[in-house]
Amino acid sequence: MEGCRLVNQREMRKNEHVKLALAQSSLPISDFDRIHFVHHAIPNMNTRDVTMVSQFPDFQLSKALYINAMTGGSDWTLEINQKLAQVAREVGIPMAVGSMHAALNNDAVKQSFAIVRQENPDGEVWANVSADATLEEAKRAIEMIDAAALQIHVNAPQELVMPEGNRNFEHWSASIARIVAGVHVPVIVKEVGFGMSYETIRSLIQCGVTYVDVSGKGGTNFAAIENERRKLKDMSYMQEWGQSTVVSLLEARNLNNRIHILASGGIRNPLDAIKALRLGAEGIGMSRHILQVVQEKGVAVGIDYLNAFHEQMIKIMTLLNVKDIVSLRQSSIVIDDYLKSWIQQRQLY
């Protein structure tokens, strides 16, 4: 009976996370608004000259986009993952599943993750485990969905606000290093919305990591979600914890030649995505926005949304007179005093 209660609690938590995430909205002001491209009035190219392909040593993002980890582990989230997998298949972009620990401990919910591979048999699907996972668990997660890559999510603030969350973290770095060395697919270490610092990324490089998703503050706020789940709701002061995606990309800038940077968290529109690529990201993760579109309007509208997102990124690249992501890095930008002050105080240049 105790095991049944634990399983039910996990399924309830998965559903609560999604419901609370869907209820959140984008911040009216973002650090992306602190960055401005310099407009040059006469491009000397056409939209058909632009490619958004991002080529990595182990995989390719054909549109520089991927659907980031969100959910799985219950009957309701099975339906969500099925829809998202259909969108990823039709748009031709990778999709990461949410944390797979529920399925590693309970065969009854495996299908909520396996459905992604069934709906997208030839696509790029990424597995997902926490930094708590053992090497054996990581291998099982990869095998469960025939994953082309593995995300390891790090979420210390969420765990500490979560009533039933983890309180032990001293083994995380060693666990990450073991998994990186022991699995046969590329490993992407990702935050869940609190951003990454220069020191964190440097330490991950020392663990053998070659891909990170900085996933900064500004998108889904898991500190706020977990505070809503607390009886007293007494940790609301943690809702502003962390660095934005913009600041995280600035933190990573001096390490770009040693590690591949992916960006998610608070990407509101194609212009935000292009700004993230300009700051050093090599791919853009989408989560809550595409989830909201698919849940509210259906799979077909979700497909149209991402295709239009990609087309508008191409239009912005044309306006900037750049044909690819590498050339985009040379585009002139102006940043505001807040970001200048962050750079100065952190002495990252």
- Mean pLDDT value of segment 15-25: 62
What pLDDT does residue 1 have? Answer: 46
Report the candidate in 147, 220, 152 with the shortest Cα–Cα distance to residue 181: 152
268 is in an annotated binding site: yes
70 is in an annotated binding site: yes
- Mean pLDDT value of segment 78-88: 97
Q: Taking 90 as the threshold, does the pLDDT of residue 7 lie above it?
A: no
Q: Which of 113-122, 157-166, 298-307 has the lowest mean pLDDT?
A: 157-166
95 is in an annotated binding site: no
Who wins on pLDDT, 205 or 348? Answer: 205
Measured at the alpha carbon of residue 344, what is the angle toward residues 339 and 346, in degrees to the nearest 5? Answer: 95
288 is in an annotated binding site: yes
190 is in an annotated binding site: yes
238 is in an annotated binding site: no
pLDDT tens sequence across 108-157: 999 999 999 999 999 999 999 999 999 999 999 999 999 999 999 999 98
What pLDDT does residue 349 have? Answer: 45
71 is in an annotated binding site: yes
3 is in an annotated binding site: no
Helix (H) or strand (E) holding 115: helix 111-119
Q: Taking 60 as the threshold, does the pLDDT of residue 5 lie above it?
A: no
DSSP string, 304-324: HHHHHHHHHHHHHHHHTT-SS
Contact 288, 264 (CB under 8 A): no
pLDDT tens sequence across 222-250: 777 877 887 788 888 988 999 999 999 99
What pLDDT does residue 231 have? Answer: 77
46 is in an annotated binding site: no
What pLDDT does residue 2 have? Answer: 45
Q: What's 68's DSSP letter?
A: P
54 is in an annotated binding site: no
42 is in an annotated binding site: no
pLDDT tens sequence across 32-58: 999 999 999 999 999 999 999 999 999
- Mean pLDDT value of segment 56-71: 95
159 is in an annotated binding site: yes
267 is in an annotated binding site: yes
